[in-house]
């Protein structure tokens, strides 16, 4: 009987919250006392653990996780723990719904209001630079800042998106993305990497609407690059890869022609292939989106004199690449930029890109080729390591 009264009081209180007379912190529905989280406890081994959902501070937000992409970084951590973080809850490409917030939480990092039920993503946590906002045009990228999903374990534990709930602590960046569908929201983080790369490419002054652009590598990074170029109005895009399935998808996302490098013997023949794909011209600009040193060496050959290159394929050290400084850079006057993660500004641009891509019918959601529930996270990572799909995602039921 006592239990029943407690239940009724709880329900009444919850209903009152819906009418705005609620006691702080605001909360939606019934929130369980514990949350599942997939914790990487050893190399190549996740354990589903149950942690208490803590009391929220006045600046904190509790997010019910809907889904999270598996990133290349997660794959490295899964296989080798290069950051020395085990045990931890991984998952940084996540999104979910606000179910509870502290009384001080009113707006997201872009100034948009936040309410229970809003769909959100997080970006960096500037614990050393709490004053950095997306409005100061600070060029600092995420390198050096923390992100949820790559934090050391602590007594809250709910620090990554491979879980049922995430505790977003005050001082984090958070964005209200309620106007994007779930697949788009899962793709925000990898898309931001490409928004940044295109912004870097634009600093050369060589990338224009009518540019001939070669994109080498049609994994998720190269494919998203093609989609962004397409939404920008660049129409002359040649995709280079060794997998026909990926090249076919590159066409769906905006490539005007494709070159399968397996059809060519040697770099001269391959360069002819790229030139033919542009109707007899070399590229004005190239994006190098593979982690292969040979691919880096090759790409200079595809670029015309005075052209540009953005290298963004080496998110880990893939070894040295050989180039000929005379033929490849000096005599051709190639302008080269590197690109590394993104800035907060790039995040906001990414939301607009995803809406534009949808509005012109690019099937961006098809980048997510596999979806696994949280309790199959080990299988999800093994599938990711086999490189059979494109983006693998954990989607909560
Ligand atoms: Zn990532």
Domain count for the chain, please give it. 2
Q: Is the pTM of this model over 0.85?
A: yes
For position 218, which CATH number holds? 3.40.50.720
Q: What pLDDT score does 315 carry?
A: 83
- Please write the tens of the pLDDT for every residue from 161-209: 999 999 999 888 899 999 999 999 999 999 999 999 999 999 999 999 9
Who's near 5: CB < 8 A, 6+ residues apart?
Answer: none
Q: Tell which of 323, 338, 353 closes a domain.
A: 338
One domain for residues 334 and 214: yes
Q: Is residue 10 part of a domain?
A: no
One domain for residues 292 and 389: no
Q: What pLDDT score does 20 carry?
A: 43
Q: What pLDDT score does 23 carry?
A: 46
Instruction: For residue 322, give both structure tokens.
Output: 């050989």
Q: Is residue 353 part of a domain?
A: no
The CA 323 to ligand 1 mean position distance, Å, reads 29
One domain for residues 225 and 333: yes
Helical segments of 27-84, H only: 72-80
Q: Is residue 4 part of a domain?
A: no
Q: Tell which of 322, 338, 354 closes a domain.
A: 338
The CA 13 to ligand 1 mean position distance, Å, reads 40
The CA 219 to ligand 1 mean position distance, Å, reads 13
The CA 72 to ligand 1 mean position distance, Å, reads 6
C-beta contacts of 374-382 below 8 A and 24+ residues apart: 374/36, 374/38, 374/48, 374/162, 374/163, 374/164, 375/48, 377/38, 377/46, 377/48, 377/162, 378/44, 378/45, 378/46, 380/70, 381/44, 381/46, 381/70, 381/74, 381/75, 381/78
One domain for residues 157 and 97: yes
Q: What pLDDT score does 139 carry?
A: 54
* C-alpha span between 190 and 174 (Å, rounded): 16
Q: Give phi and psi for 170, each to the nearest 5.
A: -50, 145
Task: Count H helices and E strands in the chain, helices first.
Answer: 10, 18
The CA 161 to ligand 1 mean position distance, Å, reads 12
The CA 212 to ligand 1 mean position distance, Å, reads 28
One domain for residues 333 and 213: yes
The CA 91 to ligand 1 mean position distance, Å, reads 8
One domain for residues 203 and 316: yes
Q: Is residue 86 part of a domain?
A: yes
Q: Tell which of 338, 354, 374 closes a domain.
A: 338
One domain for residues 172 and 90: yes
Q: Is residue 8 part of a domain?
A: no
One domain for residues 200 and 95: no
Q: What pLDDT score does 140 carry?
A: 56
* C-alpha span between 163 and 12 (Å, rounded): 29
Q: What pLDDT score does 393 carry?
A: 98
Q: Is residue 358 part of a domain?
A: no
The CA 248 to ligand 1 mean position distance, Å, reads 24
The CA 267 to ligand 1 mean position distance, Å, reads 32
The CA 94 to ligand 1 mean position distance, Å, reads 10
One domain for residues 231 and 152: no
The CA 254 to ligand 1 mean position distance, Å, reads 23
The CA 176 to ligand 1 mean position distance, Å, reads 19
Contact 185, 367 (CB under 8 A): no
One domain for residues 147 and 240: no
One domain for residues 26 and 172: yes
Q: What pLDDT score does 5 carry?
A: 57
CA distances 282 to 226, 238, 356, Å, are 18, 10, 29
- The ranges of the chain with pLDDT < 50 are 1-3, 13, 16-23, 137
The CA 266 to ligand 1 mean position distance, Å, reads 33
Q: What pLDDT score does 342 carry?
A: 85
Parent domain of 21? 16-178+363-395
* C-alpha span between 117 and 98 (Å, rounded): 5
For position 70, which CATH number holds? 3.90.180.10
The CA 257 to ligand 1 mean position distance, Å, reads 28
Q: Is residue 355 part of a domain?
A: no
Q: Is residue 264 part of a domain?
A: yes
One domain for residues 298 and 221: yes
The CA 149 to ligand 1 mean position distance, Å, reads 10
The CA 335 to ligand 1 mean position distance, Å, reads 27
The CA 340 to ligand 1 mean position distance, Å, reads 12
């Amino acid at each position: 009987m006592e239990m029943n009264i407690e239940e009724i009081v709880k329900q009444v209180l919850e209903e009152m919250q819906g009418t705005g007379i609620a006691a702080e912190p605001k909360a939606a529905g019934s929130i369980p006392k514990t949350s599942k989280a997939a914790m990487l406890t050893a190399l190549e081994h996740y354990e589903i653990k149950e942690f208490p959902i803590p009391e929220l501070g006045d600046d904190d937000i509790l997010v019910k996780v809907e889904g999270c992409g598996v990133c290349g970084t997660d794959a490295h951590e899964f296989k080798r723990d290069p950051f020395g973080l085990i045990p931890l809850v991984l998952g940084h490409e996540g999104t979910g719904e606000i179910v509870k917030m502290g009384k001080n939480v009113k707006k997201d990092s872009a100034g948009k209001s936040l309410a229970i039920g809003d769909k959100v993503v997080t970006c960096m946590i500037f614990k050393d630079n709490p004053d950095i906002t997306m409005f100061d045009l600070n060029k600092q990228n995420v390198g050096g800042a923390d992100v949820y999903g790559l934090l050391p374990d602590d007594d809250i534990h709910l620090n990554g998106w491979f879980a049922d709930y995430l505790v977003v602590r005050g001082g984090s960046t958070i964005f209200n993305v309620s106007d994007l569908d779930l697949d788009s929201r899962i793709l925000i983080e990898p898309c931001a990497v490409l928004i940044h790369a295109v912004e870097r490419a634009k600093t050369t002054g060589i990338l224009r609407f009518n540019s001939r652009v070669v994109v080498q590598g049609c994994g998720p990074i190269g494919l998203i690059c093609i989609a962004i170029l397409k939404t920008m109005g660049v129409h002359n895009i040649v995709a280079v890869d060794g997998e026909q399935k990926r090249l076919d998808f590159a066409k769906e996302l905006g490539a005007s022609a494709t070159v399968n490098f397996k059809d060519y013997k040697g770099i001269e023949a391959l360069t002819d292939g790229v030139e033919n794909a542009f109707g007899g011209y070399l590229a004005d600009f190239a994006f190098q989106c593979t982690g292969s040193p040979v691919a880096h060496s090759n790409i200079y050959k595809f670029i015309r004199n005075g052209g540009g290159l953005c290298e963004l394929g080496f998110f880990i050290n893939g070894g040295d690449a050989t180039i000929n400084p005379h033929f490849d850079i000096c005599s051709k006057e190639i302008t080269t930029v590197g690109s590394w993660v993104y800035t907060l500004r790039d995040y906001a641009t990414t939301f607009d890109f995803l809406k534009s891509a949808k509005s012109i019918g690019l099937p961006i959601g098809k980048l997510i080729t596999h979806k696994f529930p949280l309790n199959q996270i080990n299988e999800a990572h093994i599938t990711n390591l086999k490189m059979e799909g494109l983006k693998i995602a954990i989607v909560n039921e």
